[in-house]
Amino acid sequence: MNKIKASIVGGAGYTAGELIRILINHPNVEITSIYSTSNSGNPVSKVHEDLLGETNLIFTDKIDQDSDVVFLCLGHGKSRKFLENNLYSKNTKIIDLSNDFRVKPNHTFQERSFTYGLPELQREEIRKAKNIANPGCFATAIQLALLPLAKEGLLHKDIHINAVTGSTGAGQSLSSTTHFSWRNNNVSFYKEFSHQHEAEILQSIHYLGDDNYQLYFLPMRGNFSRGILAGVYLKTDISKEQAINLYTEYYKDHPFIYLSNDPISIKQVVNTNKCLLEIQRHGDILLITSVIDNLTKGASGQAIQNMNLLFGFDESEGLHLKPVAF
């Protein structure tokens, strides 16, 4: 099989670095272009230092219009503007990692229609798609905790979510709340009940038919680099055993979702495309804990999972990654 040609736009950021790290070892992909105007001519390993000795790729300020697939790793609101000014072949498939095309009515742009790329929700639609709006990191972790309940019409009560993310979720640009001296030994809420990923979550749950509830989401900034831990809890009549059976059945054919009988933690998933789920019941409250790596399953790994589906590869190709456990 000939390798597909992949290019990356916005090549200096965290998600681009993860894409490169995974794609250089993908058996069916050749990276032909890594676009970064601020780093043009520099070795990729100059910015992504973990890739020293792994690749000789060089940043460029010219786009590859004939790529088979383009990954847009641009800031939120910038992908749409970039595509207005840069034309790709109609045969080029685009996977956008920003929030520009995730929520209706933003799925359509010019002559392109973007499919929401959560494989555990609509894998068959992704296989037939031309362009993908890659889900957000919080949205991924939370949706994976809720999809089996939504499918069975069991979301009748208010849903409460406490979730914490690492500093890489905010990108590379420094601010007062991403600086080491602020993050170290510190934790805080932000965007309380108003996080932009809520729209994605509600859209997916409504896609499965549930809408008789309120969502209360408290996001937190953690004092660590990468990973998300989300605690999702709600009142329900189903037992823990019924919930476990429900989740086991829903995810039985999805290669990256694992149900754990033991307490789970972020270190089990860092550097992988896995999502671990743990179910507990306390009185009439069902608690679903979800952990992912925000840069892999929450961004670049999921983007490659979507690429695999778009091009007919095995869904887990190139994504057999070992967690950094210690």
Choice among 20, 83, 137, 208 that is catalytic: 137
- CA 76/CA 101 separation, integer angstroms: 10
Q: In sequence order, which residues have a C-beta less than 8 Å from that of residue 182 and are 6 or more positions away?
A: 176
3-class secondary-structure state, position 208: coil
d(CA 265, CA 15): 22
The beta strand positions in 171-260, using DSSP E, are 188-189, 215-221, 228-235, 257-260
Distances (CA, A) of 216 to 162, 179, 231, 234, 243: 9, 28, 12, 10, 21
Q: Is 73 a catalytic residue?
A: no
Taking the CA atoms of 88, 301, 304 and 191 in sequence, report the sign of the dihedral they define. negative
Measured in whole angstroms, the distance separating CA 303 from the mean position of its chain's CA atoms is 7
Tokens describing residue 165: 């993310």
Active site residues: 137
